[in-house]
Structure 1
Amino acid sequence: MVFGATGYIGGRLVPELLAAGHSVRVLARDVGKLDDVPWRDRVDVVRGDVTRPDDVRGALAGQDVLYYLVHSLARTDFEHVDREAARTVAAAAD
């Protein structure tokens, strides 16, 4: 499970995981951002938001490993949003 696959690092991690033979699921608020990536048809894409507990729990169902590569630097309150999102993912993973 990759949270942040539409970002710089996540977009480079996903093809590496696929090349290593892993099944990959990604969560994206805007799944359209994945339309042009070459690995789009090789991953399970879940529409959702890391700030919504139900979205995160659903995305994590059946997953063994998660990568959390999310940030909200485009927002002025990014510290608060990032902290709450990280807490949401940690609680769901627990």
Structure 2
Amino acid sequence: VGVSFGEYMGNGGQWMNAPGYQTTHSPTEHSALSFSPGQAGAEPTYGHVAFVEQVKSDGSILISESNVKGLGVVSYRTFDAETAKQFTYVIGK
């Protein structure tokens, strides 16, 4: 998709603090969603990271993520617009 992230950005909950990356609370397609530990079911110590596949016209988002439904298994979730505004998105380079 023409967007890249560093080879090691830390645990999922640390991506939002990675040096040199812009963050926002407005979802954008192909950005990384950095879940804080425990947020929206994320791992309580390390957090989680997912990727925004689509921002729908109503502001809801479709994300892809792996290791939620099993090791190496890619799965998808949607969040409504109000919930999506609570997350931190990391803009790739």
- Classify the TM-score, shorter chain: under 0.3
Give 1 or 2: higher helix fraction: 1
Q: TM-score, normalised by structure 2?
A: 0.27
Give 1 or 2: higher strand fraction: 2
Q: TM-score, normalised by structure 1?
A: 0.27
